[in-house]
Amino acid sequence: MTRPYVLDVSAYNPNATYYSFWEHWKARGVRGAIVKLTESTYWRNAYGAGQIAAAQHEGMKVSGYHFSRFRGNTSLAIAEANYAIANAHAMGLPQGSILVLDYEERLGYRSSNTQAAIAFLNTVKSAGFIPCFYSYSGMSNLWDFEEIHRQTGAKLWIAAYPVRGAVTAPLFQYFPSISDFTVLWQFTDNFYGEGVDASVDLTGDFTNMTETKVTTAGHLDSCSFDNDTSFKVSGWFGSDKAQGKGYAYIILTDEKGKELTRQQVNVTARPDVAKAYPDIPNATNSGFSAEFKYTGDMAGKKLNVIFRYTDDSAGNGNFVDYTNIIDFTKSQAYLDHINTVVFTNKLRVSGWFASDLSVGLAKRFLILYDVDAKKELQRIKVDPVQRPDVKQTNSDIYNAMQSGFSGEFNYDASLVGRKLQIIARYSDDDNGEGHRVDYWFDPFNGPAMPVVDGKTETSVLVHSFSAESKGDKTQLTFK
């Protein structure tokens, strides 16, 4: 009997974001993908969302895995589980998919390792994912899978490589008989000699695309700045486990699970969710939204946003959560114009720069920089310019409305042809030092000087023109 294969991929497989990658392996019997999502509480796979989407496009059943660093620390295991859950949602791993605990650290004690693994897997299970435990067969003395399975219902994915080098099929006479609950065997890390990890699906859990009822699901629809001091979070969360839990909260924590703030909310009608998820009992009224103050300790971080149903008026007690990620590390900018100004020998620049990191940095500067000399040439202080167009397209970035700038540098023939660069800066210092955040625009060659010699024709675009006689001279004014 030929069983289907499953590939597991990570950031080491950026080509797995292409349809052609999965099409290639599909021809060799691959029917499932397991994508590395996260590691510890500090690393996420930058290619994860693309790898999930590409595998799904080619008809693969997709699962995810988290590489653990918690060893026998139960509280850290729970923090890592919440980090994995939040990223699973953010990367588009379908609710109800298998989420694997990858346990490979060859340290610690069997009892504490086992209990920490149980805590991780039960957290994953409570979030609506199917728990699975992965490790090497040679590490079975460091954990008790039968106890893990008894307390969590987790499946076992085991790794054992009886043959090194290029492998095209598993040798079942070397099957690692670790547990009766083994559903997946990773038999090589060099499938067909192409350096890809491959497993054989023994039960169909990782490859069968059977349709199942979705009774728990959620989504973070948006996080937007409505003004200069606060941001609004909105989305939805429905679950069959919400019954009997009459209080709803939105909670913000840092990446390690430390709570920053919470707000009790009233759920709102979401008929669109009820239509899409008819098996979720409370889907009709599952909308969440709240407004939070944006503070400096949030800037530059990725926060967990938790939608919670609970039976406790303070937001604790018995609860069920949906977790996603808010990214406050974003910066965007664009240089609209660079041009020399006739008569005044000025280099005029205009554009916009918005950044989540600019909170508390009220002073605005533009810097003219010599790329080859690696030297600042000039610095000017500028006032913010309202940019409703930027606000409309970048409402998820702090202070987008006030992101515009315009300024003029002194400009002469010595700058023509030199490789120059414009730096836009937010700072809390009157001189532009102190705490600051910069955006370095692409270098450009200093433009030619405008020529006004009575012989050369120079076209100037103006909004208004006036002439005034002063004695034997005429003063021209352009605007």
Give the domain-ending residue among 327, 343, 358.
Answer: 327
CB 119 within 8 A of CB 152: no
pLDDT value, residue 451: 63
Q: How many CB atoms lie within 10 A of CB 331?
A: 17
Helix (H) or strand (E) segment spanning residue 441: none
Q: What is the mean pLDDT of residues 61-69?
A: 97
DSSP codes, 154-180 = -EEEEE--SS-S-BSS--GGG-----T
Of the pLDDT bands very low, low, confident and very high (cuts 50, 70, 90), residue 257 is: confident
Same domain, 21 and 154: yes
Indicate the pairing of strand 285-293 with strand 268-269. antiparallel
SS3 (DSSP) at 170: coil
* Amino acid letter, 385: V
SS3 (DSSP) at 44: strand
Q: How many domains does the chain have?
A: 3
- DSSP conformational letter for 446: P
Same domain, 257 and 378: no
Domain of residue 295, residue span: 216-327
Closest CA to 354 of 325, 392, 380: 392
Per-residue pLDDT at 134 exceeds 90: yes
Tokens of 469: 């006689």
Same domain, 109 and 177: yes
| pTM for this predicted structure | 0.77
What's the rounded Cα separation, in Å, for the pair 444 and 372?
Answer: 12
Residue 352: which residues within 8 A CB-CB, separation 6 or more? 333, 334, 336, 385, 387, 390, 403, 404, 405
Identify the residue with better confidence: 57 or 164: 57
Indicate the pairing of strand 30-39 with strand 61-67. parallel
pLDDT value, residue 214: 83
Same domain, 299 and 369: no
What's the rounded Cα separation, in Å, for the pair 360 and 427?
Answer: 8
DSSP codes, 351-395 = EEEEEGGGTT--EEEEEEEETTTTEEEEEEEE--B--HHHHHH-T
Same domain, 265 and 370: no
Assign residue 434 the CATH number of its domain: 2.60.40
Q: Considering the domain boundaries, does residue 470 fall inside one? A: no
Per-residue pLDDT at 464 exceeds 50: no
Assign residue 82 the CATH number of its domain: 3.20.20.80
Give the domain-ending residue among 277, 292, 327.
Answer: 327
> How wide is the angle at C-alpha 294 spanned by C-alphas 290 and 297, nearest 5°?
125
Q: Considering the domain boundaries, does residue 228 fall inside one? A: yes
Same domain, 119 and 267: no
* Gyration radius (Cα) of the chain, Å: 29
Q: Considering the domain boundaries, does residue 475 fall inside one? A: no
Looking at the chain, the whole-number percentage of residues with pLDDT higher than 70 is 92
Q: Considering the domain boundaries, does residue 13 fall inside one? A: yes
Task: Give 331-351 pLDDT, tens digit per residue.
Answer: 999 999 998 876 678 999 999
Lowest mean pLDDT among 107-111, 431-435, 459-463: 459-463
Give the domain-ending residue among 143, 178, 201.
Answer: 201
SS3 (DSSP) at 195: coil
Q: Considering the domain boundaries, does residue 235 fall inside one? A: yes
Per-residue pLDDT at 467 exceeds 60: no
Same domain, 249 and 395: no
Tokens of 368: 């003219």
Tokens of 58: 């080619």
pLDDT value, residue 341: 74
CB 345 within 8 A of CB 449: yes
Per-residue pLDDT at 468 exceeds 90: no
